[in-house]
Amino acid sequence: MVKVPWAFFSELLPAIDDLDELKLTLYFFWALYQQEEEYRYVMLREVLSDARFLRGIDPDPQRAAERVKAALARAVERGTLLRATVEGAAGEEPLYLMNTPRGRAALQALQAGAFQPGDRETPVALIGERANIFTLYEQNIGPLTPLIGDILRQAEREYPSEWIKEAIQIAVEQNKRSWKYVEAILRRWQAEGKDGGTTKQPTQADRYRYIQGKYADHIEH
User: What pLDDT, in 10s, does the model give residues 127-183?
Assistant: 444 447 888 888 888 887 878 888 888 888 888 888 998 999 999 999 989 999 999
* pLDDT of 192 strictly over 80: yes
- pLDDT value, residue 74: 95
Please report, for the chain, the start and end positions of each structural domain, with discontinuous segments joined by +. Answer: 6-111, 131-218
- pLDDT value, residue 150: 84
Question: For the purposes of burial, counting CB atoms within 10 Å of the CB of 210, is it exposed (0-12), middle (13-18) or buried (19 or more)?
Answer: buried
d(CA 58, CA 60): 5
d(CA 219, CA 211): 7
- pLDDT value, residue 185: 93
Q: For residue 94, which phi and psi values (nearest 5 degrees)?
A: -75, 145
Question: For the purposes of burial, counting CB atoms within 10 Å of the CB of 175, is it exposed (0-12), middle (13-18) or buried (19 or more)?
Answer: exposed
- pLDDT value, residue 213: 45
d(CA 138, CA 1): 8
Q: What is the pLDDT of residues 113-138, one digit of tens each?
A: 777 776 555 444 444 444 478 888 88
d(CA 122, CA 100): 25
d(CA 99, CA 82): 6
Stretch 41-56: mean pLDDT? 92
Residue of higher predicted confidence among 30 and 196: 30
- pLDDT value, residue 201: 44
Cβ distance 18 to 74 under 8 Å?
yes
Assign a CATH topology to domain 6-111: Arc Repressor Mutant, subunit A (1.10.10)
- pLDDT value, residue 55: 94
Q: What is the pLDDT of residues 10-38, one digit of tens each?
A: 778 888 989 999 999 999 988 888 787 77
